[in-house]
Structure 1
């Protein structure tokens, strides 16, 4: 596990807003509740980490920010950016299995980091087909998509 940079008060408030928004991780719950909420994370360069709770939300960051997608199962593919000129990969993705997990259990994390290069919008997406040992995911559990709006 790598050390994390200090998180600003604004980022802490954004995390609280994400928790209060009650964003689901499935397409069905998102579709039923209407359009995805926009969460303003930071207005100055900082580090932001999005996980399953950020699925189908919009996060705003400033140019220079580092955005990491940390998904909590090793069955997920590393996240990719729909607009690398806006959000470019920052190093290789990391997969960290949990040492207490049984083989094939999928316990652990897959983390991919990106750097906000220029103002614009990008989708960070990941996918999986397996949701547990010998358990295929239902269609609404197979994809992850968070929209990142980068401001100048």
Structure 2
């Protein structure tokens, strides 16, 4: 054995000690860690996804059971609707929350609607507005909101 090189066992022990000290490994082994049930993936819990204006004209992918919330930051937006409620169904009524520090007619606040992904497929969420501020008509490219939602089984 070369005196300058530590034995493989010493290297392994040092590595395990280092990993245990940094929280990256555990030296304990539980019976569940080696059982067949522990090797199968756990059932995922339903997810929650929130989208806003930044998702306009994009595609969002979610799994069945996911709650998708759409929050548009202007009270001039209509409540969003789903093109396929059997795929992406509304959850409750949409809500409008004006900002308390907004001047009258400013449209400050949010319009929020929640949807539940019920089945695999594709749905489009759409909303519209005609005003982009007090007495300010929106240009055509700012009048509509659309996001495509692909729901996977």
TM-score w.r.t. the length of structure 1 is 0.71
Partner of 1:141: 142
Partner of 2:97: 96
1:125, 1:44 → 2: CA distance? 27
> Radius of gyration: which is bigger?
2
1:81, 1:45 → 2: CA distance? 20
- How large is the Cα RMSD of the aligned pairs? 1.1
Partner of 1:47: 48
Deviation at 1:44, TM superposition (A): 6.4
2:82, 2:113 → 1: CA distance? 10
Instruction: Tell me the alpha carbon deviations over residues 71-107 of structure 1, each in whole angstroms, 9 at most, x when there is no partner.
Output: 0000000100000000000010000000000111000
Deviation at 1:45, TM superposition (A): 2.8
Is 1:69–2:70 an aligned residue pair? yes
Name the SS for the 2:61 alignment partner: strand
2:113, 2:79 → 1: CA distance? 6
Name the SS for the 2:60 alignment partner: strand
Aligned ranges for residues 77-96 of structure 1 at < 5 Å? 77-96=78-97
Aligned residues: 110
Name the SS for the 1:140 alignment partner: helix
1:115, 1:105 → 2: CA distance? 31
Partner of 1:123: 124
> 1:78/1:148 Cα in 2 relative to 1: closer, same or farther (>3 Å)?
same
Runs (5+) with no aligned partner, structure 1: 1-42
Name the SS for the 2:92 alignment partner: coil
Partner of 1:15: none
2:83, 2:92 → 1: CA distance? 17
